[in-house]
Every structure is written in structure tokens, then in C-alpha cells.
Amino acid sequence: MSGTALVYGIALAGDAIAAQLARRGWTLLIADDVATDAKRAIAAAFGTELIEAPTANQIVDLVAGADIVCPAPGVPETHAVVMAALAGGVPLRTEIDLAYEWEQQRPGGPRPMLAVTGTDGKTTTTLLTAHMLEAAGHRVAAVGNTEVPLAAALDDDDVDVFVVECSSFRLNWLQSFRAEASVWLNLAPDHQNWHTSMASYEAAKAQMWAHRRSTDVAIGWADDPTVMANLRAAGGPTRTFAASGADYRIEAGNLVGPAGVIATVAGMMRALPHDLTNALAAAALVLESGLATSADIQRALATFQHPPHRIEPLGTIDGVRWFNDSKATSPHAALTAIRSFDHIVLLAGGLNKGLDLASLAGEHARVKAVVGLGTAAAEVTGPFEPYCPTRIATSMAQAVQFADELAETGDVVLLSPACASFDWYPGGGYPARGDDFKQLVRALNGTRSTST
């Protein structure tokens, strides 16, 4: 099949999907709300010109001239191109959906896929699953909502298994994508600046199980009522995971599954509460798919290096431990970090994504002081004012200075913003924020007598 495809948003995923479409004989229309020289060059490489910041009327005309519309993950449900496609009956196709269909046509047969979704923990669980599969001897590509779109990895013949991180942006509008085993980690308010409602956000996540085969295993977190309701509705073989009361659980210091002990908690590289549930979720994926054994999982858990910006330890300065959790861009994610410690000086705030930041104060007993960051600083500090000292910083450097002044021996300084970063770091996102914080902490470290 070929025709005319409108690719809207030409960054990482847009480039990958455009390349695959072009190879299959599609005529490309490429548009973007924000034009850059790099995007113009990508369009030129496909033999076309970038359509720059089209008006609503122009978008209607573009959609009318297309057989499919491929919005990039950053294009929200409320965007004019989405509305025009829905109104005109033009199919909306996402990157992982088309990539899945192309993989099914691969000479020699498709390679297995495992899938991970959830509000928080997707990337870590995806990478941990990939590490377990590598310990089992597989050649693995961790793709999707990572640095490598699934479409970009299809041509790599050195891949045996795909682990696909599925954001709600990529799950929206699915027509075919499925996986041999898939896990839904959790659901909490997030991305309300992208979805039209929480119901829409939940429905997008549930699409991961919409096209399952009878042998595909669906796995859900037993402690999340919304996930469990969708798991029950999914039909077919299902499994659960949780710290207790689930198919995959913790018992007597061990990770345990339906077949018995999988690994010891003591053998894990790191074992914070969310590390345990992430490990159970990943173990369920590789065991239920039959792609790894308990011995493989044990080796992987003993050697897994957690990705940066996710409760990343930065060292100890004058008896105070510092942690970078810049990836926590929602209250739900920040609460996961907060619940891992006591005596916290919390650095939080940034660009709110339409979420309830006051929920952070529900853990005020763990927090001894709060430093507010960015445009949402007062939304963070206000709810904590009845319980502890608060300050508002005008820069990350000032935030680190305030935290250093407020923290005492035995405390934890935790950057866990609960917000996006595009107010202070418009071009770099949460990694730029985390890197800035790390550099400032290293500079502080260099002025003190320290231990790590």
C-alpha cells in the first residue's frame, strides 16, 4: 500500500516514520509548527519542502490531500491537524503502529515484541527488561519512547527482540500494534496539556491491549484500581505484579512469581520501593514471554545501571545526600521519589502540565523544607507553608544555595520537580535541568570536605 502521507512534526519520530514511508513509495507532505534549519534539511532529504507553521485552513487542505496523517508524538489531541483528520475521516497513524505492521511483513517473519506503558517508570522498566533479555543472550532494541523510535530500528538485522516503551502519545489511534507480553505499570494524572481529559489519557493507555492475540499475556499493577479494571476487561491470559498480593510479588526478601523464587532483593544493584515493583514488572515480561529464565534475571538485577535523572545519587556533602530526579515531571513521579526518603529538602516546580501540585504536601511528614522552582514555584511551596520552611529560587544556582543552607547532616536534598522544565530550560527538557543541577552540586562538592 502507498499513497500520500502527511507527516506532521519532523523531529526524531517524524524523521523515522518519513524515512520508512519514503522507502515504501509514499509521497510525503511534511509540516511542522516550528521551523528550523534542521527540519528544513530533513524535508529536503526526502525531496520536498517543509510546510512551515500552516494555518488552520491550510491544515484542512493538507489533510484533505492525504491518505493518512502521521502526527509526531508531540502533536496533542487538540491540535488542528488531529481535528481535521478526525473530521475528514483520514486515518491517524502512529509511529509504533505502522512500524509494527511493517515488521509483520519482514522476510523470515516478525521478531517478538514486549511492551511497557504507564505514567511513571516506563523507561527504567523498558531498559531493565532489555538488560534481562541481554543476560539471556538476546540482541535487544529498546525502542519507542526512547532515543530510538521503533520505525528506526526495523532495518537492524542484529536485533532479535524489541522492547517498546509505549507513551500514551504513541498508543493513541492504534489499529494493529500488539506485543507477546505487555505491562501497564500505573496511571496517574499527567499530560493533561496533551490529552483532552483523564478519560482520554486512560483510553490511550488501554489501547496497548486492544489488539491482543489469544496467546499474548497482559500484566498489570495490582495496586492500581484503574489498571486492574482495564486488565480485567482485556480478556485472555493475565498476570499481576505488586509488592504483595499479586502473581509477581516480594516474599521473605525474594522476588517471587507463579513458579517460585526468581531472585533475592539483596542481589539487586538498588532496591528502593519502586525498584522492586519495576523489577517484578520486567521479570513478569521476560518470564511470561518465555524469553529469559530466573538465572538471567538474577544476573541482570545484579548489574543493571539505572538511567540518569531518576533518583540518581550525586554523592554526600557534609553528611547530606544529594539526588537528581529531574525526570519526575508529574506529582505522581515526584511522590515516588519522596516516599523513598525521610528528612528531605525538596526542590520542586517548573512548568506545570495542568496537574495538582498540592498533592505533594500529602507527604509533608517526610519533608523538612521546600525550595520552589520556575513558574510553578508558588504552587509547590504554598501547600507546604503550614508544615515547613519554604523558599522560592530564581535560578537553579540559587536553589542549590538555598538547599545547602537548609539541609543538615542526615538530610537528603532531592530535586524532584513534579513539573516540566521548559520554562527555565526551553531547549533541553528534563536532561538539561538535571545536568545543570548535577554540575552545581559538583561545584559545591568541590568547595567542601566531602565523602561519597
249-251 sheet: strands from edge to edge = 249-251, 254-257, 260-264
Say which CATH topology domain 4-93 has: Rossmann fold (3.40.50)
Residue 393 CA to residue 352 CA, distance in Å, equals: 16
What helix, strand, coil percent values describe the chain, rounded to 5?
A: 40, 20, 40
Q: Which residues of 366-403 are buried (b: 16+ CB within 10 A; e: fewer)?
A: bbbbbbbbbbbbebbbebbeeebebbbbeebeebbbbb
What residue ranges do the domains of the chain occupy? 4-93, 96-303, 312-446
Residue 79 CA to residue 34 CA, distance in Å, equals: 14
Assign domain 312-446 to its CATH architecture. Alpha-Beta Complex (3.90)
Residue with cell 554540575: 439
Given this structure, which CATH class describes domain 96-303?
alpha beta
Strand ranges in 33-127 using DSSP code E only, listed in sequence order: 50-52, 68-71, 113-117
In 3D space, the residue among 98, 60, 94 whose CA is nearest the CA of residue 79 turns out to be 60
Residue with cell 543538615: 408
pTM given for the model: 0.83
Angle (deg, nearest 10), helices 37-45 and 12-23: 10
For each of the chain's 452 residues, which pLDDT tens digit applies? 789 999 999 988 999 999 999 999 999 999 999 999 999 999 999 999 999 999 999 999 999 999 999 999 889 999 999 999 999 999 999 999 999 999 999 999 999 999 999 988 899 999 999 999 999 999 999 999 878 999 999 999 999 999 999 988 889 899 999 999 999 999 986 666 666 788 989 998 999 999 999 999 999 999 999 999 999 999 899 999 999 999 999 999 999 999 999 999 999 999 989 999 999 999 999 999 999 999 999 999 999 988 899 999 999 999 999 999 999 999 989 999 999 999 999 999 999 988 899 999 999 999 999 999 999 999 999 999 999 999 999 999 999 999 999 999 999 999 999 999 999 999 788 999 999 999 999 999 988 754 44
Cell triple for 398: 540559587
Contact 36, 22 (CB under 8 A): no
Residue 118 CA to residue 226 CA, distance in Å, equals: 11
The β-bridge partners of 32 are 52
Strand ranges in 300-365 using DSSP code E only, listed in sequence order: 312-317, 320-324, 344-349
**Amino acid at position 6, single letter:** L
